[in-house]
Structure 1
Amino acid sequence: MALALAPGHILWVLPVSLGGISALLLRDGSVRRAALLGWGFGFGYFALGLSWILEPFQVDAERHAWMAPFAVVFLAGGLALFWGAAFAGAARWGRGAAGLLLLIALWSLAEFARAYVLTGFPWAAFGQFWVETPAMQLLPWVGPQGLALLTLVAFLPLAMLRTNPVWALLPGVMLAAGVALLPPPPEADRTDRKVRLVQPNAPQHQKWDPEFRWNFVRRAMTFNAEDPRPDMIIWPETSVPQLLNHAEDTLAAITEMAPGVPLLLGIQREEDGAYFNSAVFVGPEGRVRQIYDKAHLVPFGEYVPFGNLMARFGIHGFASQAGAGYAAGPGAQLLDLPIGRALPLICYEAVFPQDVRAAPERPDVLVQITNDAWFGTRSGPYQHLVQARMRAAEQGLPMLRAANTGISGVIDPYGRLGQALPLGEAGYVDVLLPAPLPATLYSRTGDGPVLFLALLLAGLGLRRGVKSPARS
C-alpha cells in the first residue's frame, strides 16, 4: 500500500491491499490475531512509506548511521500500534458486516489519534494517496481525515466480494462516480504581485560546514540581483548560517543585492538563552520588521524530551545542538508582507492542517520555508510537497514554497503545483501570486464533522456487534 504514496502514486494497490487485509480480518475473528494483523500491516506500510527517515542519519554517518535501523523500527512499530488497536477493536466487538463497519470507523479514529496524540504525526495518511487525482477536489469540503475515511469506505467492503459482490462494490463505485462527475477546477485568478523563490541547493552535509556554508549564501545573493526585480524575495529555512543576533551586516549585504526589494528568510536566533528556528521579514533597508518563531517542532529533530539531561549523554536533536534543542514559538501568527497577510509555515508545520487553521485570521497566502535536504532525494521531499499542496487546497489559499534543495514553487488555491524548481537544482523562479478563494467549508469546520461521523459509525457498529460472543 505504501506504493500509493508519492512519488509512486500506484493506486491499483489500494483495493488489493485494503480489500485483502479486511478479508483476512473477517476470516479470523481472534482478537489477538487481529491485533497482530493490524500491527504487522501497519509496520510494513510505515517502514516502507517512511523509509526516508533513514536519510538524516546519513548526514553524519560516522556518528549516527548506527541509529538508523532502530529509528525505522521504533517509528514504524509505534505508529502501527494505532492500527493494531483498531483491528483488535473490530474483532472484539463485531462480526461480519458489523466487524467491517467497526473496522472502517476504528481505523479512521486511529488515524485521527495518529494525527493529534503526542503532537501528532499524520505523515503517510490515506488522503495523501489522492493528490494527483480529481478526488483532491474533496479536500476543501471534508479535509484530509474525510478523504481518508472515504478511502476506507470505498475499499474495505471488498472483503465481501465473494459472498456479497453488490455491497462489496457499491460504495467504491458510487464514490468513483461522484468524483468523476465533479467539474475540473478552473484556472486560478492571478494577482499582479511577483515573488521570487530562491533555491540555493545546499546539501545537508555541507550546509553548516565553515568551508562551504557561505558559498550558498553568496549563490542565493546572486539570484537576488537578477532582473527584473520582483515585489518580494523568499529564501528557505535556516538559509543564513548564523544567529540573527549577529547578522546585521549579513542582512544589509543581502538586501543591497536587490535594492528596494523586501525579503523573507529563515534564520536561527537566541533570546534569553533560548534558541528559535525563525522566519524573518527584512525590509528593503535591511532592517528586521517582523519575526515568526516556529511553534510545532520536530521531536528528536529540533528538540529532545528531557533535552538538557539527554545532552549530558551526547544526545541532541539533529537540527540543534543547544541542550534541549529549539524552543517553541508562541503559535501561529500572520505577517504583514507586501504581497498580503501571510501565514508562515516552517518545514514540518505544513504537515498539520490544525496548524494552518490556528491562524488568528484568514490569511491571503500561505508561505512555507523548508530545508528538505534532511529528507534526501527519494520519497521524502515529494511526500512533503504533497502535504503542502493539500494544505493549500483545504483552505482555498495559494502557497509560496521556498525549499533549500527543492521543490520550490507556487501552489494555487486548488492545490495544483505551478511554476517550480525541481529537486536538487540551484536557481530561482519568479511567480505571480494566485488570488485566494473564498473560505472553504473545511477551513470553517476543521476535522470536527468527520470525527463525529467516525464516532457515529463506531456506535452503529458496536450496536450491531456488541451482542456477539467475546473472542480472544
Structure 2
Amino acid sequence: MIPFAERVILARGWRRCILGFAAGALGALAMPPFGILPALALSLAPGVWLIDGTAKPGLSRRASLKAAALVGWFWGFGYFVAGLWWLGAAFLVEADQFAWALPFGVLGLPALLAFFPAFGFALARLLWLPDGSRILAFAFALTVSEVLRGHLFTGFPWNNPGMALGQNLWLMQSAAFLGLDGLCFLALAICASPALILTGRTAGQRWTLPGLAATALSTMAVFGLWRVPAEPIPTVENVRLRIMQPNLAQDAKFNPRNRDAIMRHYLSLSAAPGRDGRTLADATHIVWPESAFPFLLHRDPASLAQIGGLLEPGSVLVTGAARMDEPIPGEAVGAFFNAIQVIDHRGTILGSYDKVHLVPFGEYVPRFLEALIRAVGLRQFVHIPGGFEPAESRKPLSVPGLPPVAATICYEAIFPGQILPEGDGPPARLILNVTNDGWFGQTTGPYQHFAQARLRAVEEGLPLVRAANTGISAVVDPYGRIVDSLQLGVEGVIDSDLPVASGAIHSSITRRFSLTTILMICLMALIVRRKQKLHLYKTSWTRRYVSFDTKAWGHEEVDQLNR
C-alpha cells in the first residue's frame, strides 16, 4: 500500500479530526466559482480512508459508528466553513449591530450543517465492506444525508456535492433527468472511486471502479455535448428584455433617507443606452432586482408615477419590492411580504408574487427561537417590524406579454423541484429570479447562488431571467447556456431577447422517482453483498475482515479479528 493512504487510515485522535477537516475544506474548491472537480476527489478519497480507519480490530460496532460519525462531522465542518465563509459578510453590513455575532454565523451554521455528513459517514460505516462496494456505500449514504439537508428544518441544499458537476455545461445536462440529487450521487461515486487506487491489493481492485467512474464521467460529457443544440434556440416573439443591475451597496446608502437618490439612480440607469445600441424604448419588459426600494412602493404614489413616466405604453416593469397587507382591526401594521410586483406605464400595479421560502434569521426569526433572540437584542437582518411573512403557496405571476412565469425571489432558486407554481394553471415557460446578493459583497457566495439558479433552468427545461442588485444578472437558455450576463460588482443593463422553453418533458416527480430507484438498487445491492461477504468470512479459513493491508495492523491484531 502507498504510505500516504496508510497513514490516513491509521490516524487516531486529533490527527484523524484534523485530516477530516482538511479533506472537507479541500472539497469546497470543487464549488463555484473555482469548479475544480479533482478537488472533490482529493476530498472524498481521504474520507473513504478515514472510514476505513474506524474498522479497528476489537472496536465494537457502536464505537465504530461513533468514530465514523465524529470524523464525518469534522469533514463536514471543514467543507462548510471553506464553502460558506462568505456568510460573514452579511454581519459586517451593519457592523455596529451584528459584527459581534460574526463567529456564530461563520462557524455556527457550518457546525450545525456538519451533522448531516456525520450521519452520512455513520450510515456508510454501517454498510461498509473491505472491497470496492464501500465506494457505493459511501455515495449512497452521503446522498441520503444531502437529501435530508435539502429538506429538514426548512432545507438548505447550498453547495450540494452535485454542484461539482452542475456548473459544467455538458455535465449539467444529466440534471434534466436526475436532478441535483442525482448529480450528487454521481459526483460522490465518481470522485470517491480514486480511493481504491491506493488501497487495492490487485490491479483489478485498484483500477476497475476508477475506470468505470472515468467512463461514466465521459459518458455524461458526451451526452451533454449531444443534448445541447449547436445553434442558439429560437426566442419568444415580441419580447425584448432589459435587466437593470444597479450595484447598490447594502449599507447606509440603502436607507429610506436616500429614497430620492436611489430612485433617480434606477431611472437613469434603466434609461441608459445598452451595450448593443438598444434603448429603453426598444424594451417591452424591464426587470429590477429584489428589495429594490427601502420603502413600500405600493404605498408611494409619487414613486409609482415616476416609474410610469419611465415606461413606454405597452411596456411593463417587473421589480422586487416589499409590500404590506392592510392591517387587521386593532393592529397598527399589517403583515409584510417580500414580493415581486408588475407595474405598467400608468404606474398601476398589475400583479404580485409573494415569497414562500424565507431565509431564517435573514428575513424572519423562527418562532421557537424568537423569545431568545429578542432577549439578547438581535433581530433579522431586514428592517421589517417582526420580519416577513411567508406566502401560503407558490402562485404563478402573470406578466402581460410574457409566457407563464415561475417567479422566485433570492434563494428560492436553490431548491430543486420547488420552482414551479402550484395549482392547475398553465405550465410555466419561464423562470424569473430577482435577488439581492449585495449582503455578501465581492465573495464567492453570489457565484454559488447564480450557479444554482442556472442549474434550475436545465432541470426544468425553462429559460432563466435573473436580476441581481450587485450581480450576477443574466439571461440563461433552458440548456444552461448564458445568453448574456453582467458580472459581479458592476452596474449596467442587459438587453436580450427571451429564449423559448426547450419543450422537453421535465418533472420533479420523475426525477425523484429516478433518484429513489437508484438509491433503492444501491441499498439492495449493498445488503446482498454484505450478507454474501459476511457468510464467506464466517465459512472461509481466512476469515479476515480487514479494509487494508494486514501488515498495517500486525499479525496479533489480525488474529484477534479472526477470532
Indicate the TM-score class for this superposition, using the shorter chain for normalisation: over 0.9
The aligned runs of 1:173-322 (5 Å cut-off) are: 173-182=214-223, 183-184=225-226, 185-186=228-229, 187-192=232-237, 193-226=239-272, 227=279, 228-260=281-313, 261-271=315-325, 272=327, 273-306=334-367, 309=371, 310-311=373-374, 313-322=376-385
For 1:335 and 1:406, how far apart are their aligned partners in 2?
Answer: 23
For 1:398 and 1:392, how far apart are their aligned partners in 2?
Answer: 6
Match of 2:89 among 41, 47, 55: 55
TM-score of the aligned structures, taking structure 2 as reference length: 0.79
**What does residue 26 of structure 1 align with?**
52
Deviation at 1:456, TM superposition (A): 3.3
Partner SS state of residue 321, structure 2: strand
Residue pair 1:397, 1:413 contacting (<8 A) in 2 also: yes
Residue pair 1:94, 1:464 contacting (<8 A) in 2 also: no
1:335–1:210 CA distance, 2 compared to 1 (3 A):
closer
Deviation at 1:62, TM superposition (A): 1.7
Letter in 1 for 2:469: N
Partner SS state of residue 333, structure 1: coil
For 1:444 and 1:88, how far apart are their aligned partners in 2?
Answer: 29
Deviation at 1:418, TM superposition (A): 1.9
| Fraction of identical pairs, as percent | 33
TM-align CA RMSD:
2.1
For 1:241 and 1:411, how far apart are their aligned partners in 2?
Answer: 29
**What does residue 85 of structure 1 align with?**
119
**What does residue 558 of structure 2 align with?**
none
1:19–1:265 CA distance, 2 compared to 1 (3 A):
same
User: Which of 460-469 and 42-51 deviates more?
Assistant: 460-469
The aligned runs of 1:65-76 (5 Å cut-off) are: 65-76=99-110
Rg (Cα) greater in structure? 2
Deviation at 1:391, TM superposition (A): 0.5
Residue pair 1:320, 1:326 contacting (<8 A) in 2 also: no
For 2:455 and 2:139, how far apart are their aligned partners in 1?
Answer: 23
1:144–1:449 CA distance, 2 compared to 1 (3 A):
same
Instruction: Determine whether 1:132 maps to 2:168.
Output: yes
How many equivalent pairs are there? Answer: 470
Deviation at 1:357, TM superposition (A): 3.8
Letter in 1 for 2:381: F
Deviation at 1:141, TM superposition (A): 1.3
1:161–1:140 CA distance, 2 compared to 1 (3 A):
same
**What does residue 108 of structure 1 align with?**
143
For 1:89 and 1:224, how far apart are their aligned partners in 2?
Answer: 53
Instruction: Determine whether 1:397 maps to 2:462.
Output: yes
Q: Which has the higher contact order (CA 8 A, sep 6+)?
A: 1
Q: Residues 117-144 of structure 1: CA distance to partner in whole angstroms, max 9, x if unpaired? A: 1110000011212212421111111111
Q: Residues 234-286 of structure 1: CA distance to partner in whole angstroms, max 9, x if unpaired? A: 11111122114422221121120123221111111111321111100112211
Deviation at 1:374, TM superposition (A): 1.2
**What does residue 197 of structure 2 align with?**
161
The aligned runs of 1:337-356 (5 Å cut-off) are: 337=399, 338-356=401-419
Letter in 1 for 2:51: L
1:18–1:344 CA distance, 2 compared to 1 (3 A):
same
Q: Residues 290-349 of structure 1: CA distance to partner in whole angstroms, max 9, x if unpaired? A: 1111010001110111276344543211124412x1100122121222122111100010
**What does residue 10 of structure 2 align with?**
none
Partner SS state of residue 402, structure 1: strand
For 2:376 and 2:259, how far apart are their aligned partners in 1?
Answer: 28
Dislocated runs of 4+, deviation >4 Å:
466-471
**What does residue 501 of structure 2 align with?**
436
Higher relative strand content: 1
For 1:73 and 1:177, how far apart are their aligned partners in 2?
Answer: 37
Residue pair 2:290, 2:469 contacting (<8 A) in 1 also: yes
Residue pair 1:157, 1:167 contacting (<8 A) in 2 also: no
Q: Residues 174-210 of structure 1: CA distance to partner in whole angstroms, max 9, x if unpaired? A: 2122124223511222223101101111100035324
**What does residue 41 of structure 2 align with?**
15
User: Which of 49-58 and 246-255 deviates more?
Assistant: 246-255
Letter in 1 for 2:349: V
For 1:329 and 1:103, how far apart are their aligned partners in 2?
Answer: 38
User: Which of 301-310 and 131-140 deviates more?
Assistant: 301-310
Instruction: Determine whether 1:145 maps to 2:181.
Output: yes
Match of 1:46 among 74, 77, 80: 80
Residue pair 1:26, 1:100 contacting (<8 A) in 2 also: no
1:207–1:349 CA distance, 2 compared to 1 (3 A):
farther
